[in-house]
Amino acid sequence: MADEQRYRCVLLFGPPGVGKGTQGKILANIPGFFHLSVGDVFRSIDIGSEDGKLVYNYISKGEFVPNELTMKIWKKAVRAYVALSWFKPREDVLVLDGMPRNVEQVELVKDYLEIQRIIYLECSDQEDMIHRIRRRAIRENRTDDANEDIIRHRFALYERVTAPVLEQYDESIIHRVDCNGSPAEVLRSILDISIPVQNVHFQSNQ
């Protein structure tokens, strides 16, 4: 894929329950940002379909969906959002949540993403994040978040498989944000990081 077809992107990165989806949804309401959560894409798939059955089999156990299937579903979703004009790549910075989730995916997304910033949401209290996830499971009827053993397995998987992703990127584009503050404080920090990316994107497409 040629450079002009790559999506200018800000990654929301961090462990489960840290608030990536919450902040991404807020950014989605600001013109010039398009939020795409890979987890939401997985959960929206018809579980009666072949891909849906495969995805559900993994996420219901707290496992990661294999790379090939992840890329297939992600590319299909992006194409659909562009076709519907929900995501306008010339106007919008893509705010991506949930990918890359392992070192192999870092290579796989290079043809599709021009990553400008990685916003690393950090939280010092894992037990608080587990409590958040369980509250979310009740509120949003998310079966993958209801079982504490599965939640703890997801944290272990994050530490072993996803956290090393950061080591693959230049430290200069990684911005750490303490998510122990209020949602508004976290949002302010994220906007301080993201607005310059949006400004450059806007000016380059005038």
Question: pLDDT of 40-79, one tens digit each?
Answer: 999 889 989 999 999 999 988 888 999 999 999 999 999 9
* DSSP-assigned states of every residue in 16-83: TTSSHHHHHHHHHTSTTEEEEEHHHHHHHS-TTSHHHHHHHHHHTTTPPPPHHHHHHHHHHHHHHHHH
What's the rounded Cα separation, in Å, for the pair 146 and 105?
A: 27
pLDDT tens digits, 10-44: 999 999 888 898 899 999 999 999 999 998 999 88
SS (H, E, C) 51-64: HHHHHHHHHCCCCC
What's the rounded Cα separation, in Å, for the pair 6 and 4?
A: 6
Residue 126 · residue 143 · CB < 8 Å: no
Q: Residue 119 — φ and ψ, nearest 5°?
A: -95, 105
pLDDT of residue 4: 42
pLDDT tens digits, 128-142: 777 777 776 666 666
- Rg of the chain over Cα atoms, rounded to whole angstroms, equals 16
Q: How far is the CA of 29 from the CAs of 92, 95, 100, 142, 195, in angstroms? A: 12, 12, 23, 23, 14
Q: Residue 33's beta-bridge partner residues?
A: 93
Element counts in the chain: helices (H) and strands (E): 8, 5
pLDDT tens digits, 98-118: 999 999 999 999 999 999 999
Q: Quick one: average pLDDT of 136-150? A: 68
Considering only residues 1 and 20, tell me which one the structure prediction assigns the higher pLDDT: 20
pTM: 0.87
What's the rounded Cα separation, in Å, for the pair 74 and 145?
A: 21
Q: Is 197 helix (H, G, I), strand (E, B) or coil?
A: helix
Residue 87 · residue 81 · CB < 8 Å: yes
Q: What is the CATH number of domain 3-204?
A: 3.40.50.300
pLDDT of residue 142: 64
User: What's the chain's average pLDDT?
Assistant: 89
pLDDT of residue 152: 85
Q: What residues does each domain of the chain span?
A: 3-204
